[in-house]
């Protein structure tokens, strides 16, 4: 009896150690990951993006087709630009024959927000090895949304999950555009307003974050920064100043925000029981 108990203890501590290792160094034991689980989780977390990308990509495809551009243009734009807001804004610019330097400037203004997205993702993307540059490239608003709220469940390979998510989103954006350019003629239905799907997606992510974040200080900072910058710079140019201002405010408020984010609240029943048990023992 005694021996078996000891063995049991040993196995238990060994398991605990393995779990701890896995948590500390993701990817240390590949056998613990299940490919199908990883795929399902990546697909699940990407599904709202895939949906809205096909819808908004479709709208882009139709715009291009109506402006007289070919499916090959749509394919290249989706593959190599991969930025909804810029691609939709560039169609009227291209139709107007805007000169390429002006186009470059417009692209910079529209997409300057992406500079802020990579902050905090260097370590995570580096783990992709050779595909590190692909992860940096395939990082538009929507993918940033998903990556900022991923919580890998057990059995899900974090690195493969990130890669699959990025690939699935990219592919759905490309296919949305191609569907639009090929089927645009067949669809007689007026599609205006369809790009509201992107707004709704960001709204949903905001709601999820509101639920998950322990502190709402970042959201308040975002609202205040946006409001101030709209007053000062107007609705057309507020994005870059608003992001910079939020970054500065977040750094100033770091101590308070960090305290609020790491506030320990007994989340599970088990924690409560454990806490009360410890209190009793201390008494």
Least Cβ distance, residue 156 to another protein (angstroms): 19
Which parts of 170-209 interact with another protein (CB under 8 A)?
Answer: 190, 192-194, 196-209
Least Cβ distance, residue 26 to another protein (angstroms): 16
Q: Helices 84-95 and 35-66 meet at what angle, rounded to 10?
A: 20
How far is Cα 233 from Cα 254, in angstroms, rounded to an integer?
26
Q: Which is nearer to another protein, 34 or 134 (CB)?
A: 134
Q: Which two tokens stand for residue 207?
A: 């709601």
What is the CB neighbour count within 10 angstroms for residue 274? 12
Which parts of 58-97 interact with another protein (CB under 8 A)?
Answer: 68-70, 73, 76-77, 80-83, 86-87, 90, 93-94, 97
Least Cβ distance, residue 23 to another protein (angstroms): 17
Binding residue for another protein (CB under 8 A) from 33, 41, 42, 52? 52
Residue 27 CA: distances (Å) to CA of 23, 24, 124, 135, 155: 9, 9, 12, 18, 11
By the rule CB under 8 A, 57 interacts with another protein: no
How far is Cα 190 from Cα 112, in angstroms, rounded to an integer?
32
Among 19, 47, 64, CA closest to 183: 64
Q: Which is nearer to another protein, 16 or 203 (CB)?
A: 203
What are the φ and ψ backbone dihedral angles of 83, each rounded to 5 degrees? Answer: -150, 105
Count of residues engaged in binding another protein, rule: CB under 8 A: 94
Among 61, 70, 80, CA closest to 176: 61
Q: Which is nearer to another protein, 39 or 69 (CB)?
A: 69
Which parts of 4-43 interact with another protein (CB under 8 A)?
Answer: none
Least Cβ distance, residue 20 to another protein (angstroms): 21
Which parts of 133-152 interact with another protein (CB under 8 A)?
Answer: 136-137, 139, 141, 144-145, 148-149
Among 86, 106, 113, CA closest to 240: 113
Residues 232 and 241: beta-carbon distance below 8 Å: yes
Least Cβ distance, residue 11 to another protein (angstroms): 36
By the rule CB under 8 A, 261 interacts with another protein: yes
- Cα first-last separation, the chain: 34
Which parts of 216-245 interact with another protein (CB under 8 A)?
Answer: 216-219, 221-223, 225-226, 230, 235-236, 238-239, 242-243
Least Cβ distance, residue 192 to another protein (angstroms): 7
Q: Which is nearer to another protein, 7 or 261 (CB)?
A: 261
């Amino acid at each position: 009896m005694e021996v078996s108990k000891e063995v049991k203890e040993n196995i238990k501590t060994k398991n605990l150690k393995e779990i701890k290792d896995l948590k500390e160094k993701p990817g240390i034991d590949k056998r613990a990951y299940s490919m199908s689980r990883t795929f399902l989780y990546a697909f699940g977390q990407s599904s709202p993006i895939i949906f809205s990308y096909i819808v908004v990509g479709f709208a882009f495809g139709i715009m291009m087709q109506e402006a007289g551009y070919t499916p090959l243009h749509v394919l290249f734009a989706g593959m190599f630009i991969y930025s909804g807001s810029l691609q939709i804004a560039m169609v009227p610019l291209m139709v107007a024959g805007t000169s390429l330097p002006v186009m470059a400037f417009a692209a910079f203004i529209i997409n300057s927000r992406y500079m802020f997205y990579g902050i905090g993702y260097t370590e995570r993307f580096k783990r992709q090895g050779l595909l590190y540059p692909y992860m940096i490239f395939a990082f538009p608003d929507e993918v940033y949304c998903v990556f900022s709220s991923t919580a890998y469940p057990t059995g899900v390979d974090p690195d493969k999950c990130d890669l699959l998510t990025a690939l699935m989103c990219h592919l759905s954006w490309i296919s949305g555009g191609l569907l639009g350019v090929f089927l645009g003629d067949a669809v007689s239905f007026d599609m205006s307003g369809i790009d509201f799907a992107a707004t709704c997606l960001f709204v949903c992510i905001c709601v999820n974050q509101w639920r998950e974040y322990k502190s709402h200080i970042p959201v308040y900072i975002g609202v205040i920064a946006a409001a101030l910058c709209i007053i000062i710079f107007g609705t057309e140019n507020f994005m870059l100043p608003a992001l910079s201002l939020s970054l500065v405010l977040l750094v100033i408020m770091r101590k308070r925000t960090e305290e609020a984010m790491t506030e320990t609240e007994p989340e599970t029943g088990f924690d409560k029981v454990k806490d009360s048990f410890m209190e009793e023992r201390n008494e």
